[in-house]
Amino acid sequence: MSFTALYRQPVPLDRKLHLGKRLKKIAGSRAAAQMNACLVTASEFADVAKEYVIGFVPSRAPGTAGPLEVSAVALLGLRAQENLFVDADGRWDAHYVPAFVRRYPFAYASDGEGRPAVIVDAACEAFNDTEGERLIQDDGEATPFLKETLQFLDAFEQDLQRTRALCARLVELDLLKAVQIDVTLADGSKLSADGVQMIDEARLKDLPEAVAVELLRNGVLGLLHAHVISTTNVQRLTERLGAQLQQATPTA
């Protein structure tokens, strides 16, 4: 799978520099239109599994030294730079929008000293001077809207840490296998997507009883079952791609 950066012009949120800035309500995001996968957290698996395929992808760049690290993602497209869940008007076309996308244009990033700092995408079309919710009050303090946004960012980061621990455990137990997603479109043409890993159900069934009990008690088995169920959504992705290709094909 390939990824496109969501944040085009990330800058630290500054009380003085951004005193008059506002944020318009975002329904989906044009910025995510070329992103074919996004991070998801374990707490989202149940909702994500209803509409998306949950997969696992390497977190390290190819050729980087060190043990394997993977991240949990929702697959948004079958081809590079393609998000099948953003329509032509920039709206998100699904009942559930992953938290990774909902937090946009904000995020946490490390400052020069390794401390977390709030960033905002200055290139976001909703980030402006005249419309929407104000971010900084005249006294330099965060508005109620920004405080609520920061609480959401905090919750997302905490969920992300728990998800990283889950992914590390899956790697430790050798429960993941690389797969190739092969689909056939309505016109008979075929398409393959790789770079994603899924749970090896045979290895999962062969886990020692003590390990299986551990995973059951800490809720991991439920998460893995949600992941396995989500793989049936490959057909939905195929149908979405077929519909978009049909719309893009000029009629005679």
130 Cβ contact list (under 8 Å, min separation 6): 22
On whether the CB atoms of residues 119 and 153 are closer than 8 A, the answer is no
Specify the pLDDT at position 64.
64
Specify the pLDDT at position 244.
83
Residue 4 lies in a domain: no
219: pLDDT strictly greater than 90: yes
Specify the pLDDT at position 172.
95
Residue 213 lies in a domain: yes
Sheet with 190-199: list strands edge to edge: 37-39, 70-75, 53-58, 190-199, 176-184
Q: Which residues pair with 38 in a beta bridge?
A: 74
Query: What is the spatial distance between Cα 126 and Cα 169, in angstroms, rounded to a whole number?
Result: 39
Residue 165 lies in a domain: yes
Specify the pLDDT at position 191.
86
Q: How many domains does the chain have?
A: 1
With a pLDDT cut of 70, the percent of the chain lying above it is 91
Residue 51 lies in a domain: yes
Residue 22 lies in a domain: yes
Phi then psi dihedrals of residue 49, to 5 deg: -65, -20
158: pLDDT strictly greater than 90: yes
Residue 61 lies in a domain: yes
Residue 49 lies in a domain: yes
Residue 244 lies in a domain: yes
How confident is the prediction for the chain on average, in pLDDT?
A: 89
On whether the CB atoms of residues 3 and 75 are closer than 8 A, the answer is no
Instruction: Convert the pLDDT of each residue in 95-134 to its tens digit.
Output: 999 999 999 999 998 876 777 889 999 999 899 999 999 9
DSSP string, the chain: -----S-SSEEE--TTTTTT-EE---SS-GGGTT-SEEE--GGGHHHHTTTSEEEEEESSPTT--SS--EEEEEE--SSTT--TTB-TTS-B-SS---HHHHTTTEEEEE-TTS-EEEEEETT-TTEESSSSEE-B-TTSPBPHHHHHHHHHHHHHHHHHHHHHHHHHHHHHTT-EEEEEEEEE-TTS-EEEEEEEEEE-HHHHHTS-HHHHHHHHHTTHHHHHHHHHHHGGGHHHHHHHHHHHHHHHSPP-
Domain around 105: 10-248
Specify the pTM: 0.89
